[in-house]
Amino acid sequence: MKIFTSPQIRKCDAFTIENEPVTSLALMERAATACAGWLSRKFSGETVYNIFCGHGNNGGDGFALARLLYHKGCDVNVFMDSAQNLSADAEINFKRTRDISGIEFSDFSKVNKFQFENESVIIDALFGTGLNKAIEGKSAELIKVLNELKFPKISIDIPSGLFADEVSDKNSVVFKADETLSFQFWKKAFLHSETGKFCGKINILDISLNSEFIENEISDSFVIDEGLVRGIYRPRQEFSHKGNFGKTVIAAGSSGKMGA
């Protein structure tokens, strides 16, 4: 599977919107639908989802996810910064979700005194792959509080605080996810030891971005995935042995370099 940079992923989104055609709002709905399906399979019907939504499109995913989970019969709480302006698509999904009387909305400032249910799950939809500077101030303090909560933690697309294409500073504040639900592609940040430790288990969700773009876009980075392995795997007969399968030459390190 190709690994694309954040700018390439944005190009892929734009190409899909233009050529399918599909609206950016409908693409956000696809992402939220994929997340809602995964969460419904992962957790029981008693789960209470606490979704922390930022002001950008990652937050828009979170608002849409809250609505979809509620319509599946789940209990949902939404947290947001009431003072921040939302992106256009996030604003639309916020209004759609706000009008549902069964979903409780709270400001980020209330999190310290909020009584989370025992069956809670914390969902990080604060900052997505567009993040370009370290998180500071109230957002950093919020993430520190969330990291201390002893509930399962799920990040949408990428843990908030990570840069998709580079290693974050070691002192950066980053959401510590148990699982990450990422859309269509692996991100380089998932594979660095310094940043991958924040991601937990990676789950790549297919949201049907344009296959022509994915096929033609050039990348120098790849990850070995199940599809690649299945393409080269050849089952062996039960009673075969190594002598049936040719020889291997290993060009290795010199004496004393056994590790190599």
User: Looking at residue 260, what is its pLDDT?
Assistant: 64
Report the range of poorest mean pLDDT among 127-136, 137-146, 226-235: 226-235
For residues 74 and 46, give the distance between their C-alpha atoms in angstroms, rounded to a whole number: 8
**Segment 186-228, tens digit of pLDDT:** 999 999 999 999 999 999 999 999 999 999 999 999 998 888 8
**Segment 101-128, tens digit of pLDDT:** 999 999 999 999 999 999 999 999 999 9
User: Looking at residue 248, what is its pLDDT?
Assistant: 86
Is the C-alpha dihedral spanning 8, 14, 17, 18 positive or negative? Answer: negative
Q: Is the pLDDT of residue 39 over 90?
A: yes
Residue 247 in 3-state DSSP?
A: coil
- φ/ψ of 219, rounded to 5, equals -140, 145
- Across all residues in the chain, what is the average pLDDT? 94
In which band, very low, low, confident or very high, does the pLDDT at 244 lie, cut at 50, 70 and 90? Answer: confident
Q: Does residue 90 contact residue 55 with C-beta atoms inside 8 Å? A: yes
Q: Does residue 155 contact residue 205 with C-beta atoms inside 8 Å? A: no
The CATH architecture annotation of domain 6-245 reads 3-Layer(aba) Sandwich (3.40)
The domain spans of the chain are 6-245
For residues 57 and 204, give the distance between their C-alpha atoms in angstroms, rounded to a whole number: 18
Place of tokens 């693409």: 27
pTM for this entry? 0.89
